[in-house]
Each structure stands twice: as C-alpha cells, then as structure tokens.
Structure 1
C-alpha cells in the first residue's frame, strides 16, 4: 500500500464532500486526485481537478472512491469502482434493495464499506451495544436519539444501525426520537433490568467527525481483499 492513498471524492459539492476536501488537506496519508459533482464550473479548484457526473469515466486513477452523493448517483460510482478494481467508501443514504444487493455482488470483486454513520465513536458504541445485549439477556433495550429540528427521518439511520447491533446480541430494541434546536446528534442506548440500568451514550458536537471517520476508513480500506467491511472492522 502506498504512503499516500489516492482518493476520488464523489459528491464533492455537498456538505460532506466539502468537509472531505478540507480535512484531507490536513492529512499526510491521503491525497485527492479528483472531485466529482453534478455540475462543474471551475475546472481546477485548489489544485484538484473537477469533473461533472457525466464525465465520471474520465477521472484519473484512484485507490479509493469516497462517495457522499445521492441515491440516483450511486450506481455509476459503484460500477466504476468494480470496473477499475478500486475500493469504495460510501455514506450515501436512501439506497433501495436493488442497490444494496449490488453492493453485495460488488464485494466479490472489491472492498466496500457502506455506513449510515462514520463517527469512530459510534463504531465503538455499536460494538459495546452488541456485547451488552449479549451479556444482559432479558433486559429491556431502548434507543433514544436526538437531532436538530430539521431532520426528517425518524428514527435516525444511526439509531436503526445501533438497533441491529442490539438484535445481534439478542435484545429487542425500542426507539424514541427527539427533534430540537441545532443538535448535531445524540444517541442513548439503555439496558434496564430489575433495580438497575446501563446507559451507553454518544454525543456529536461537530459534523466534521463524520468526514474524519470516512477518511480514516478510506486510508485503511485501500489494499484490503474484496468483501463488505464495517467501520468498526477498520478501527
């Protein structure tokens, strides 16, 4: 694996894409060889070549594509990664069942990581939740998530992912959601028994943590064998 991983940012004009461009410049283990957006005005920004979605097949060689785009733009970037034999890190939401099935097929040929949340702390939390659920059979399990007032999905994708971890440990989670102010994201997983309870909490105070987690994953996914990876596998 080379000292500096060559990244292609797909969905570069979005909030996550912009954070990835900004934060990658602070690292010495990766560099960006191209940025892809739906439309392109300026051809080079801060030394990074810009490509429109329609020009995807013209992007330079890369080691990992980092995708935070829209569901309708996901299929072409997955196909390009399979065609070139490169890894894919994606946080694009709203994928349908056929797209999820395509990820499974692609994983026979390339390493793929898709996650609803790229916080390294949440990755650790998910493992702790699974272990707690397995160690506390029969306890009530409740997941309470809080986000800003503009967030529409309820419960959040992260809460559902934590619920899957709880189910893998044998628990049957229930969900509650709060929408208030400008909360970036808080997740409480509570296990309650007779006379006692255990609470596992993660609080996000900056959205940059998600971009940092995606860059962390990309740097560690490059050069891995084909397969489906979880963020917690790359800690």
Structure 2
C-alpha cells in the first residue's frame, strides 16, 4: 500500500489517475494544480505522479527532493533544460521520466529498438501518430520515445536524423532518416505506428490507446515500483525489466 499524490489532478489524466488509485490498494492523498502548494502535498505522500506542465517541473522536482520521495514524470513537451533539471534531481531521489506510461507502449518501444538494430539502415523508418484535437505538442512524447528507441537500435543520435513536417518539394528522402508525421482530430486517445520500409516489403509495429486509463494504470504501477529505489533516473523499461 502506497500513499500517492497527483500533480495536475484537474486534468483528464489527473481524473483517470485518481480513479485508478482509488480502485487499487493504494491511498490517494490529494492533488495539486497551478498555484497549489506541491511541497505541502509531497510531505504526506510516498510518491508523486506528475502530469502537469513543463513550466511546473522545476517546482515539482524541488518538492520531491525536499520530501525525499520519488516522482514519476509523465508530462510531455520537455526541453533540454528540463532534462538537465531531472539529471540534477536524480542525484538525490529516484525519478522515472517517460513520454508514455502505457505498459503496451513500453513493450512496443523495446520491439522497435530490436527491429531497428536487426534490420539495419537499409530499412527506412517512419513514425505516424494521431491524437485528439486538443493536444498541443507534436510529435507526441510517445512518438519521440519510439524515435529514440529506433535511433538507439541503430546507435545514432535522433536529433541528427529526425525528419518531420515535410511539405512542398522536399527532394528525396535523406538516407538513414527517421520520419515523423502527426495527425490531430476527434477524441483519439493515442495511436502510434512505426513503419519499417525495405525493398519490396514493410513491417508495421503499432499500438492503439482506447482510453486514458491505460496510461494511469501504468503510471500507478511505475510509482509503486519506484518507491524504495536508489536515487537515479529510471524508465518504464525498468518497470517491465526489459
């Protein structure tokens, strides 16, 4: 049994998280949103689960450090500066940061890495994602997570090979590129496909999220797993022991 607190509790993910926590053996100790005292909330919790906004990350990490408790960060749209803040925090507390807390997506990323490594650079890689009309960042955190997995399989830097937003006369596809396409519309919770296109054949690895509860369920499992760990930076692959 763990005492869990939600940062970003007023959002759709916050509501899904509270429902999963209250239906489990764990205790929901409260939530915090813009302007609320996260530090006070952290003192009553065994772990924080953060699905708020990038601009709140520094304060949220500080609250977790001061309370000496772990934090699961599912907030997307993080910059390099945010990742540097996480790197500083993990010297004192355990932090699990991910672009997607779904256990299914975690396994998908593992398969993408394996496929990219085994198929080699002769196979072109394209990542297609679709989300609801209200999503504000693109590509999605999950698409970037899958891109990082593909790049890791090839032992290359994603930033140097990433292609997105193609429009007009772009010329031939760059050799070794990892392409991204983002679709927005309706109420889609999340759909991702990684396409490996070779000579005369294609392989597609896909995941469809039917409800936000899958992300909430994975986040709660991650928080439960993170409690009691040594300070450091962790990922969902650690939760599944991949």
Q: Provide TM-score, normalisation by structure 1.
A: 0.86
Partner of residue 156 from structure 1, selected from 140, 144, 150: 140
Partner in structure 1 of residue 15 of structure 2: 18
CA distance in 1, matches of 2:38, 2:201: 58
1:180 is the counterpart of 2:177: no
Partner in structure 2 of residue 86 of structure 1: 69
Q: Is the 8 A contact 2:8 2:51 kept in 1?
A: yes
Q: How many residues align?
A: 218
Q: How does 1:61-100 map to 2 (within 5 A)?
A: 61-100=44-83
CA, structure 1 residues 169+80, in 2 after alignment: closer, same or farther (shift >3 Å)? same
Partner in structure 2 of residue 222 of structure 1: 227
| Secondary structure of residue in 2 paired with 1:108 | coil
Larger deviation, residues 175-184 vs 19-28: 175-184
CA distance in 2, matches of 1:25, 1:168: 37
Q: Is the 8 A contact 2:128 2:180 kept in 1?
A: yes
Shift of 1:83: 1.7
Shift of 1:127: 0.5
Shift of 1:72: 2.5
Partner in structure 2 of residue 31 of structure 1: 27
Q: Is the 8 A contact 1:16 1:68 kept in 2?
A: yes
Unaligned stretches of 5+ residues in structure 1? 40-52
1:143 is the counterpart of 2:148: no
1:112 is the counterpart of 2:95: yes
Higher relative contact order (CA 8 A, sep 6+): 2
CA, structure 1 residues 93+55, in 2 after alignment: closer, same or farther (shift >3 Å)? closer
Q: Is the 8 A contact 1:34 1:59 kept in 2?
A: no
The one-character-per-residue Cα deviations of 1:77-117 (angstroms, maximum 9, x if unpaired) are 21121122210001123333332111001111111011121
| Secondary structure of residue in 2 paired with 1:169 | helix
Unaligned stretches of 5+ residues in structure 2? 155-175
Q: Is the 8 A contact 2:38 2:60 kept in 1?
A: no
Q: Is the 8 A contact 1:34 1:60 kept in 2?
A: no
Shift of 1:58: 6.0
Q: Is the 8 A contact 1:166 1:172 kept in 2?
A: no
Aligned-residue Cα RMSD (Å) equals 1.8
| Secondary structure of residue in 1 paired with 2:187 | coil
